[in-house]
Amino acid sequence: MYPRPFFLTALIFILCYSLGSCKDKQMKGLLINNNTKSAAEFLGKPNYRAMSYGGYRTLTRDDQPSISQIKEDLKILSAIGVKVIRTYNLQLDQAPNILKAIRALKSEDANFEMYVMLGLWIECENARTSPNHGAEDLAVNSAEIERAISYSNQYSDIVKIIAVGNEAMVHWQTDYFVLPSVILKWVNYLQKLKTENKLPSDLWITSSDNFASWGGGDSAYHNDDLTALIKAVDYISLHTYPFHDTHYNSSFWIDSQKNIEHLDAKARIELAVQSAVDYAASQYQSVERYVKSLGVQVPLHIGETGWATASETLYGASGTQAADEYKQALYYQKMSDWTTTNGIACFYFEAFDEPWKDAPRPMGSENHFGLIDVEGTLKYALWEAFDSGVFKGLTRDDKPLKKSFDGDFKEMYKDVKIPNKIE
């Protein structure tokens, strides 16, 4: 046993050291938070590009991307000005690993800046088996909410938006959609926690869904619960996919080809893609009009839009011929220009190809929405960025990035066809 004076001295030293360490940690946290922005400050700002990110490399989500892999990917996205990314569920390791990766990158580089729209998966009772759309899966949904609360508090400098559900209200998601009342319940719950200081006060709460679900289409979606939801969210996150509608509602895609016999192929393709951007804008504006008709003022941003580069059916050579790298690049640039001009945040879908999305069909369009493929090959939309040198020294899975088609425009353009209609 140590003599009492020595013991007391040691105890005082330990207490002082501990208090100092705690104070340092608190101060460090305060410094992090002081260097952070709210969603209200960055959504729709041109120097805060937004993008959907998964990071999955294989045919199954059983293979979760590691923190080191995610760090590689986020450095690539940061190089092209992406500072806001979107996730989709909290049931796996992917989302918390993204948060850990961002925290690590911020500790390594004081200038690194990346924020997250944290997606929550919401579904109906007996989803994918015998769906009961009149009720929710309370256990699944409650667990998602609790995880979101935990991560939002733990990573308050990074998580700036919570999206309650992804296309969880649109009726064509027959496997799992819920009624607006379910989304409203959870949005109100999270908003209440903000007023009770149990969530950061500047955390924005929304739901990310098809434009029709927000009242921009069929009147079947118009009801009191949707109106209450529109009033409850901090902003509306809507999805628009002209790419898919080249098949399902192709008039805009084909009509743009009328009376253009004097134009060459490139001009006709550009005209078709411009019509796709106009079509997306019309869907955005339809929601805007509906919200105004309710007498509600709430920001509107695009939570998803994108363009696939390959398709074995519907959108490929035997379908509308929408899918290729050239058209993706045109849509990406034109959509970026339109949203930037109008101060609209646009979460482009998506950063990297994810082959698990349609694993049985390698050429299924859902596997090919990325601007970059699984191997780190940059599609045509990012060739110019590559040539500018922004990717110098960056890798994916330790392999240097490269351009598709070895950067040969003529080879890439061989895959490009003039838009067609399925008869």
3-state SS assignment for residue 156 = coil
The tokens for 59 are 């045919």
Are the C-beta atoms of 55 and 352 separated by less than 8 Å? yes
Are the C-beta atoms of 335 and 51 separated by less than 8 Å? no
pLDDT of residue 256: 75
- Helix-, strand-, coil-residue percentages of the chain, each rounded to 5: 45, 15, 40
| Nearest-angstrom CA–CA distance, 407 and 411 | 9
For residues 318, 170, 298, 348, the Cα torsion angle rounded to the nearest 10 degrees is -30
| Nearest-angstrom CA–CA distance, 342 and 45 | 10
| Nearest-angstrom CA–CA distance, 70 and 351 | 12
Q: Which is more confident, 331 or 30?
A: 331
Nearest to 418 by CA among 309, 288, 320: 320
pLDDT of residue 27: 35
Cα dist. 371→74, 77, 325, 399 in Å? 14, 10, 9, 17
3-state SS assignment for residue 219 = helix
Cross-strand partners of 304 = 239
| Nearest-angstrom CA–CA distance, 376 and 299 | 35
Are the C-beta atoms of 113 and 415 separated by less than 8 Å? no
Residue spans of the domains in the chain: they are 38-413
Please state which of the ranges 4-8, 153-157, 252-256, 316-320 shows the lowest mean pLDDT: 4-8
Q: Which is more confident, 187 or 268?
A: 187
Split at pLDDT 50, 70, 90, the class of 370 is very high
| Nearest-angstrom CA–CA distance, 333 and 343 | 15
38-413 CATH pick, 3.40.50.880, 3.40.50.2000, 3.20.20.80, 3.30.160.100? 3.20.20.80
Check the CA dihedral 325-331-332-333 and report its sign: positive
- Convert the pLDDT of each residue in 74-111 to its tens digit: 999 999 999 999 999 999 999 999 999 999 999 999 99
